[in-house]
Amino acid sequence: MKYQFCIYGHPVLRQPADPVALIDKAIRILARDMLEIMGEKKGVGLAAQQIGQTVQICTIGFDPKYDAAEPGGARLNPEVELPLVMINPVILSRTGAKTDTEGCLSVPEIWAPVHRAWEVSVKFLNLKGELQTLQARGLLARVIQHEQDHLNGVLFVDRVSAVKKISLSGKLKRMKKKTEAELGLG
């Protein structure tokens, strides 16, 4: 299937996703395609809305060397096999806090500090339809929160400080205007 990669200003990025009712061949193909697109775009996560789909599925994957509190340190989440496909994810708890720089494939060339929980507990279905629960720390927790936001129609730029929003507003307005013009919405 051909997907349209959605950039800031595309209305689908603001649509909350619908729960996946049945994990069938189409969902497994979507997950496979999302993992491939995420790799091609060199992203660490991808939500279905980013490719124009409005179902609750996201993919997460990055080099395990980044799953550490400090360069060369021990993995924070050694029990988690990456890449990860999460269907109908729900964050159960958030603890700790850390501000770190984030970016997004759908908001290209913009990076900003975002305050997020350091650790999350999340439940989701895997591709076999099995209910999974995992505790995630560090970068993995951040990416889970970022992708969960996407599934709820929230973008990382919505979570930056008021001062940073003001400094980004011109770039974001231009990006939105360009996207809307390309879609024939402007």
- Angstrom CA distances, 71 to 65, 117, 120, stand at 8, 20, 22
> 147 an active-site residue?
yes
Percentage of residues in the chain having pLDDT higher than 90:
96
Nearest C-alpha neighbor of 110 from the set 164, 154, 66 = 164
- Confidence band (pLDDT; 50, 70, 90) for 1? low
The arithmetic mean of pLDDT across residues 171-180, rounded, is 96
What SS3 class is residue 82?
coil
| pLDDT (tens digit per residue) in 26-84 | 999 999 999 999 999 999 999 999 999 999 999 999 999 999 988 899 999 999 999 99
Whose CA is closest to 138, among 152, 113, 154, 120?
120
| Spatial distance between the Cα atoms of 86 and 67, rounded to a whole number of angstroms | 18
Which of 79, 119, 130, 147 is catalytic? The answer is 147
- pLDDT of residue 186 exceeding 70: no
CATH classification for the domain delimited by 11-183, as one of 3.30.70.270, 3.30.1550.10, 1.10.760.10, 3.90.45.10: 3.90.45.10
Q: How confident is the model at residue 153 (pLDDT cuts 50, 70, 90)?
A: very high
- The structural domains of the chain, with segments of one domain joined by +, span 11-183
Long-range (24+ apart) CB contacts under 8 A made by 65-74 are 66/139, 67/138, 67/139, 67/140, 68/138, 69/138
